[in-house]
Amino acid sequence: MDALVTSGLTKHYGHRELPIHRPGQRPVGAVRALEDLTIAVREGEIFGFLGPNGAGKSTMIRLLLGYLHPTAGSATVFGRDIVRDSVEIRRRVGYLPGGIALYDSLSGERLLDYLGGLTGRPSKRRAELCDRLELSTRTLRRTVRDYSRGMRQKIGIVQALQHDPELAILDEPTEGLDPLMQRAFYGILDDLREAGRTIFFSSHVLSEVERVCDRVAIVRRGRLVALEDVASLLERRKRNVELRVAEDPPRLDGIPGVSSVRVLPDGRITCQLDGDVGPFLAALAGHRVTDLTIEPAHLEEAFLELYEDAEPEEDETSPDAAAQADAAASPGPSTARAPR
Amino acid sequence: MNGPLFLHTWRSQRSKLLVICVAIAAWSAFLPVIYQSFGSQMKALVDSGVIPKQLTNFGGGDVFSLGGAIALGYAHPISIILISIFAIGFTTSAIAGERQRGTLEVLLARPLARSQVYVTLLAAVLVFIGLVLAAASVGTLVGATIVGVIGELVVGRLPLLWLNGMLLWGAIATIGLAASVSFDRLTPALGITVAIVIVSYFLEILGSLWPDAQGLQPYSIFHYLTARDILNGTLNLFGFGLLAAVGAIAIGIALAVFPRRDLAAPS
């Protein structure tokens, strides 16, 4: 069963393109923040939603939570329409906004009580979350204005998850957390997954996404460029190999899966390896290998490849487009790879 | 209407509310004292022709009668500023301020319809204004009792005066809230509301002091705050209805705009 389904979800900001504009300037028109996005997030999975600033990540989240209204297309959360049933959806969802702002005059405890009260569901996970994120009773009694950035982020995590939501939408959840707390947070995510909760996870930190997510969607300029299991995405990535041999270098050209072979002046051999490592290892047999490093593929490389594949567009470097930042993607046709 | 939101709003405003209630009660208690102390001398001064008669009719009030003194207190900038702290300050920051600070994000992530948020904040501000105006009535009674002029006051008319004040300040509060739900920043919401109130107040005061400008007064919502008439036993039902209509229109605009607005990510 799918927890979240979008079908051709589209969001344009601003006005329709004006027919008159100054020569040499692009016409002022609608900003296409999200274009025809179709994805399905399964119940119980951790789903990563990736893209650089202005790709449409925040727009997508804001559409799901009813902050924005779609221009076209539709979406459902637990089978309920995001426009008609927004209140009912938010009853079952926990949301951590990116760069969360909190009520500074309240104590942490009072703030969590207030937000819990508004949710209308018992805050049954609060004690456990505070414990794992090392938010002591003493800390919670201090006013939020005295909190560090990391503490605010912890409070943000607790407010999003304290009522044990069926779907958690987390925007840059580890921002401001130290490595120990990041680890504690990943533990919380693992527990939520085990409990069958669904997590929609937006992040810039690709190593983190790789660590926690089951599947990822990558968006570029408001369009979906990839939607895949993290494991399959990585499986298809080439691994970087570096080796050193005592005698003559082995002949690696033509070995299945091996490409970009280079012999460096210092004697090191580098190449890229795709798929099964068997033929490569067989080719090394009989050579005295003194050093061998096979670097696993990382999501970052897959992500960059998907972005580099697309031709740069005029708007990409324009100050106007940059200024749209999180709110929207730049206008213009996308040349990105079609969804798989 | 949402209980936790109302309670949170009440808690965050209660200290300010207490201070304003005390201040306006003190101000309202002071006006019967002025009437009792200087009313007859002022009347003699005006009758002598030294002071132009128009200058004694500031905002529909005077100091020659208890009703006039109380009306003067209601139209005086001191009470306007005190009540505006809630009717303008609170309302304009209620949504636009939260939006600017970014806290609206966590509020609207809860299962609350935007109309529910609006109605709760409207109810809260009406309670605040109601209490401030009630404090003014209490202050009037206390002041009139202390200086021994309570007998000149028909106490039973004070609730009508309270209602008239509620309709005026309620209308201003709904304008403030309508501006608040329409903007992402506090400054334009506050600016528009303050501009409407200042222009309206200016038209009324100008008309009350300068006979040639009297034709402008009906265009001011302050013109329909008829404290002296109410205390003298005259009720302007049209004025009551007009203030209620202004409030209803502002509520309608807010309820049409707020739920339909796109709330982009705060910058």
Cα-Cα-Cα-Cα torsion B45, B50, B52, B55, nearest 10 degrees, comes to -50
Q: Which residues of A touch B (CB under 8 A)?
A: 13, 58-59, 62, 65-69, 86-88, 90-91, 93-95, 97-103, 105, 114-115, 117-120, 159, 325-328
Give pLDDT tens digits for A218-237: 888 889 988 888 887 777 67
Q: Under an 8 A CB cutoff, do B110 and A88 touch?
A: no
Instruction: Please tell me which residue of chain A has the smallest CA distance to B263.
Output: A67
Identity of the residue in A66, A86, A327 whose CB atom sits nearest the CB atom of B264: A327
pLDDT grade, residue B59 (50/70/90)? Answer: low
What is the reported pLDDT for A265? Answer: 85
Instruction: Please tell me which residue of chain B has the smallest CA distance to A112.
Output: B106
SS3 A256: coil
Q: Under an 8 A CB cutoff, do B4 and A118 touch?
A: yes
What is the reported pLDDT for A321? Answer: 37
- Read off the pLDDT of each residue in B42-54 and give the average, rounded to a whole number: 70
Q: Which residues of B touch A (CB under 8 A)?
A: 2-5, 8, 12, 101-103, 105-113, 260, 262-267
- Read off the pLDDT of each residue in A37-65 and give the average, rounded to a whole number: 91
Which of A96-105, A194-203, A229-238, B97-106 is predicted least confidently? A229-238
Place of tokens 């072979």: A261
- Read off the pLDDT of each residue in A99-116 and give the average, rounded to a whole number: 94
pLDDT grade, residue B63 (50/70/90)? Answer: low
Q: Under an 8 A CB cutoff, do B264 and A62 touch?
A: yes
The distance of A328 to chain B (nearest Cα, Å) reads: 9
Identity of the residue in B103, B110, B260 whose CB atom sits nearest the CB atom of A90: B110
Give which of A114, A143, A161 to mutate to test B binding, by max B Cβ within 10 Å.
Answer: A114
List the domain boundaries for chain A: 2-233+300-328, 238-296
The distance of A51 to chain B (nearest Cα, Å) reads: 16
Q: Under an 8 A CB cutoff, do A67 and B4 touch?
A: no
What is the reported pLDDT for A106? Answer: 94
Q: Under an 8 A CB cutoff, do A95 and B109 touch?
A: yes
- Check whether A77 has a pLDDT greater than 90: yes
Pick the closest to residue B261 from A181, A62, A21 (CA basis).
Answer: A62
pLDDT grade, residue A13 (50/70/90)? Answer: confident
Q: Under an 8 A CB cutoff, do A69 and B102 touch?
A: no
- Spatial distance between the Cα atoms of B189 and A337, rounded to a whole number of angstroms: 44
Give pLDDT tens digits for A269-287: 998 888 788 889 988 888 8
Output DSSP code: residue A143: B
Pick the closest to residue B128 from B159, B70, B93, B169 (CA basis).
Answer: B169
DSSP string, chain B: --HHHHHHHHHHHHHHHHHHHHHHHHHHHHHHHHHHHHHHHHHHHHHTTSS-GGGG-GGG--SSSHHHHHHHHHHSHHHHHHHHIIIIIIHHHHHHHHHHHTTHHHHHTSS--HHHHHHHHHHHHHHHHHHHHHHHHHHHHHHHHHTT-GGGS-GGGHHHHHHHHHHHHHHHHHHHHHHHHH-SSHHHHHHHHHHHHHHHHHHHHHHHH-GGGGGGGGGSGGGG--HHHHHTT---HHHHHHHHHHHHHHHHHHHHHGGG---PPP-
The larger pLDDT score, comparing residue A157 to residue A315, is at A157
Q: What's the mean pLDDT when you consider all of chain B? A: 91
Pick the closest to residue A199 from A183, A216, A182 (CA basis).
Answer: A216
Q: What's the mean pLDDT when you consider all of chain A? A: 83
Give pLDDT tens digits for A152-205: 999 999 999 999 999 999 998 998 899 999 999 999 999 999 999 999 999 877
Q: Under an 8 A CB cutoff, do A117 and B4 touch?
A: yes
- Check whether A335 has a pLDDT greater than 50: no
Give which of B7, B98, B110, B184 to mutate to test A binding, by max A Cβ within 10 Å.
Answer: B110
Q: Under an 8 A CB cutoff, do B103 and A95 touch?
A: no
- pTM attached to this predicted model: 0.84
For A238-296, give the CATH class.
alpha beta
- Spatial distance between the Cα atoms of B71 and A35, rounded to a whole number of angstroms: 61
For A2-233+300-328, give the CATH class.
alpha beta
- Check whether A29 has a pLDDT greater than 70: no
Q: Residue A279's beta-bridge partner residues?
A: none
Q: Which of A8-17, A75-84, A202-211, B46-55 has the highest mean pLDDT?
A: A75-84
